[in-house]
Amino acid sequence: MGVIVLINYDVVIIGTGRVGLPLGLCLAELGLRVIGIDKNKNIIEKVNENQMPFHEPKFNSLIKDVEFNVVNDYTVISKSKNIIISVGTPLLPHIEADISQIKDVLKEAMKYLVEFQNVILRSTVAPKTTEYIRNYLEKNTKFKVGENLFLSFCPERIVEGKAYEELRKLPQIIGVEDENSFEKANEIFSLLTKKTFRTNYLSAELVKLFNNANRYINFAIGNQFAIIAENFNENIHEILKMANYDYPRDRISSPGFTAGSCLRKDFGLISESIAFPDILLSSWKINEYMPKFLVDNLLNNTKVQNKKVIILGYTFKQDSDDVRDSLTPKLIRYIERELPDDIIVYEPNIDLTDEESLTDEDDNLPLFDLLKKGDIIFITVPHSEFRLKNEKIFEAAKESAYFVDVWNVMNRDKIIFKKLDELN
């Protein structure tokens, strides 16, 4: 007699972070029975109280409207038709993919796999990771992929802040090595998006990595040009305005802090397989140099010692509450080496008391009160609030204050300028 397994869920999502949670909620909105597994207590508590653990537009209301819970219990796997893995895949300092979270998931999950389940890998991975997963599952379970277990790599290509739209708009790449696995993955993703592409594991892995690497390299070009312009004592923002104005070909990127938990590490998932210095490694070097570039250039104009430094922005990108792999902490470390009197950070999208290093009592003062105190004002993230209030920010600053504005939020077309010089 066969074993009867009760299937209660259509999908279980393992890893309900910035990628897994929006996907789970969107699938639940489509009427699927979805449950999440995560080991982070804060995420479990918040989601089960119908609150988003992070900011992502449109999801504050969606999470209240749909049935979706998160548990720290792998046994639910055996009750689901589909299993989506969306845990983190960081980069080790050696420029080596860290697949420990995926390995932990496999170790736990394989205990509960049942025949004919469909496993979808959603995390961004280094080439050949899906093949490793297939081999691991075939070695450690009684199943054979394509016959009585299905496996695909279906990369997530959304950007934070646009998850709701892009989950529906972006074509879904489906990397498979057999027809059955394609049909299973396609069944789910064609509910969400109009277009799916079938390819093999490796090409699907490369599509995702090339999309991100392309962005990373493009931002590095903008940063490289800013460094070159500065070496010639010329102004990058002014040059870019002319270069890009009504020019019908390849827009040059503006300089800025290029970071975040995807761009800053995905290059390494490719670069680890290349023996020689490559364009990815060079882009990494240029993008990572930007905090030092700003501090070194500031030092050509003024000393930092005994000055109050105000930093506007702390997250890795505009209008986000995600601080992972932001370059601002790196900038702060360079500023600290120059012995400022004080460093005060203003970040409108997060509660800075959560950040250990930012305990200064002034951190929560309203923006304009803070600005009055600053000798040097860095704008490290082009938040909408800063763009909208740029003239008021300028007015509130002391006349003797220096601005360091890599994003041109202040619209002065200068990376470093003194307020007094702009008044004259």
Ligand X SMILES: NC(=O)c1ccc[n+]([C@@H]2O[C@H](COP(=O)([O-])OP(=O)(O)OC[C@H]3O[C@@H](n4cnc5c(N)ncnc54)[C@H](O)[C@@H]3O)[C@@H](O)[C@H]2O)c1
Q: Which residues bind ligand X (CB under 6 A)?
A: 14-20, 37-40, 43, 86-89, 101, 104-105, 123-124, 156, 158, 160, 261-262
Task: Quote the tokens at residue 273.
Answer: 């397989």
Q: Which is nearer to ligand X, 18 or 134 (CB)?
A: 18
Token pair 């501090």: residue = 295
* Shortest Å distance, C-beta 339 to ligand X: 35
Q: Which is nearer to ligand X, 80 or 124 (CB)?
A: 124
DSSP-derived secondary structure letter, 177? S
CA angle in degrees (0–180, nearest 5) for 46-10-129: 85
Token pair 């010329």: residue = 234
Q: Is 404 helix (H, G, I), strand (E, B) or coil?
A: strand
* Shortest Å distance, C-beta 318 to ligand X: 14
Q: Which is nearer to ligand X, 20 or 255 (CB)?
A: 20
Rounded to an integer, what distance in angstroms lies between the CA atom of residue 306 and that of residue 322?
A: 31
Q: Which is nearer to ligand X, 235 or 261 (CB)?
A: 261
Q: Which is nearer to ligand X, 59 or 289 (CB)?
A: 59
Token pair 């496996």: residue = 151
* Shortest Å distance, C-beta 267 to ligand X: 12
* Shortest Å distance, C-beta 295 to ligand X: 28
Cβ-in-10-Å burial (0-12, 13-18, 19+) of 138 comes to: middle
Rounded to an integer, what distance in angstroms lies between the CA atom of residue 345 and that of residue 367?
A: 10
Rounded to an integer, what distance in angstroms lies between the CA atom of residue 76 and that of residue 35?
A: 8
Of 232, 221, 296, 285, nearest to 255 by C-alpha is 221
Q: Which is nearer to ligand X, 17 or 255 (CB)?
A: 17
Rounded to an integer, what distance in angstroms lies between the CA atom of residue 149 and that of residue 100?
A: 23
Q: Which is nearer to ligand X, 131 or 178 (CB)?
A: 131
* Shortest Å distance, C-beta 39 to ligand X: 5
* Shortest Å distance, C-beta 261 to ligand X: 6
Q: Which is nearer to ligand X, 57 or 277 (CB)?
A: 57
* Shortest Å distance, C-beta 246 to ligand X: 33
Contact 364, 371 (CB under 8 A): no
Contact 326, 263 (CB under 8 A): no
* Shortest Å distance, C-beta 66 to ligand X: 19
Amino acid at the residue 15: G
Q: Which residue is nearest to ligand X (CB)?
A: 17
Task: Quote the tokens at residue 410.
Answer: 């202040």
